[in-house]
Amino acid sequence: MAEENPKKDLFNNADSDGRFNRKPSTFRSWVVPSSSLNSDSASNTNGTSPIQSFPAAKGRYVLYIHLVCPWAHRTLITHRLKGLQDVIRVIELDDMDREFGWCWNGKGKHGWTEDPIYGGTKYLRGLYDRAVQNSGERKFEGRVTVPVLWDLEEGTIVNNESGEIIRMLYSAFDEFLPEGQREVSKGGKGLLPDHLKERINSMNEWVYHEINNGVYKCGFAAAQEAYDENIYKLFDALDRVEAWLGQQGKGPYLFGEDITEADIRLFPTLIRFDVAYFTIFKCNLKMIRYEYPRIHQWLRNLYWDERGKTKGAFRETVAFDAYKYGYSQATKQKVVPAGPRPNILPL
């Protein structure tokens, strides 16, 4: 049975030295506002697929996600925060097969058992194959990851790098949104305002390496040295966020009064922390709820949002039970932990 004895086990996440190394994403094109479309293609720096510009359009693009994945989660939060529900359709994968990867297994709210757009395949891999077949290859040979921004018109993947997808969602589709929801109308209060861009970029850098990806370097470590090398860096970085929130003074968000990209990128990791990374990924020197009072407050402000700033974009995209199950599955543990309870404390 494939589940018992896969030819290639996708749940073996560490390299031969026991370390987890996240590979660069393969598809790196951009959707741009239709008015600024430039037909030139530049060659890609990582030598994979060429970088192209795709015109923004309503109903043309689809975002494929899985609720467990924190990288997909940031795209889902942004999609919801921006109010893009009628512009970009979201399709949820509901399971992971050890040999063939992300799939539809009838467990999602729609009960899909195959790709709801093209049919014929139950695996996201089918879409990756379709994307490369358009450029003459037979099969996609890299890692099949979520999120994916798919173009229905050209039948290809525009981009599968979450950090880039969220940046497209901030403003590329604004022409289809009411004036008040456009990034430009928000001035200095947008998701990535000019005056904060440099500081946000520099925070992204360490948060990505030490926290977003740091939890994976601990959780997928298959050698003691690999775990030891990363666990202290992770908690040093969390200490740094705790101190950061102290210096910010008024908060309640990482850069003050308004939600920015920095919050969107940190939230998916920290909402999973106590319920999955602490228990299943052995990121267990401290718990957010007991040992990081400022981070805990920041997290609950976003989740419970009593100020009406989030439009439910954070809380309604969270799936605690899926995290407990999904990370247990990804680390080949047969038993799913029950706690901690509650999944998140009230404000």
Ligand X SMILES: N[C@@H](CCC(=O)N[C@@H](CS)C(=O)NCC(=O)O)C(=O)O
**Which residues of the shown chain bind ligand X in the complex (CB under 6 A)?**
10, 25, 69, 71, 101, 143-147, 160-163
Question: Which of residues 144 and 271 has its CB atom nearest to ligand X in the complex?
Answer: 144
CA distance 109 to 114: 13
User: Is position 179 annotated in a ligand binding site?
Assistant: no
We find the least distance from the C-beta atom of residue 180 to ligand X, in angstroms, to be 29
Classify residue 24 by its DSSP letter: P
Whole-number Cα distances in Å, 288 to 86, 203, 238, 254, 325: 36, 20, 9, 16, 20
We find the least distance from the C-beta atom of residue 160 to ligand X, in angstroms, to be 6
User: Is position 146 annotated in a ligand binding site?
Assistant: yes
Question: Which of residues 170 and 292 has its CB atom nearest to ligand X in the complex?
Answer: 170
CA distance 174 to 179: 8
Give the active site residue among 69, 103, 218, 283.
Answer: 69
User: Is position 32 annotated in a ligand binding site?
Assistant: no
User: Is position 241 annotated in a ligand binding site?
Assistant: no
Active site residue 216: yes
**For residue 152, what are its two tokens?**
């229905």
Give the active site residue among 64, 216, 227, 303.
Answer: 216
User: Is position 25 annotated in a ligand binding site?
Assistant: no
Question: Which of residues 177 and 270 has its CB atom nearest to ligand X in the complex?
Answer: 270
Question: Which of residues 145 and 301 has its CB atom nearest to ligand X in the complex?
Answer: 145
We find the least distance from the C-beta atom of residue 13 to ligand X, in angstroms, to be 7
b or e along 48-74 (b: 16 or more beta carbons within 10 Å of the residue's beta carbon)?
ebebbbbbbbeebbbbbbbbbbbbbbb
* 230 within 8 A of 120, measured Cβ to Cβ: no
Active site residue 69: yes
From 93, 153, 154, select the one nearest 125 (Cα to Cα): 93
State the catalytic residues: 69, 216
Annotated binding residues, written as ranges, equal 102, 143-146, 161-162
Annotated binding residues for glutathione, written as ranges, equal 102, 143-146, 161-162
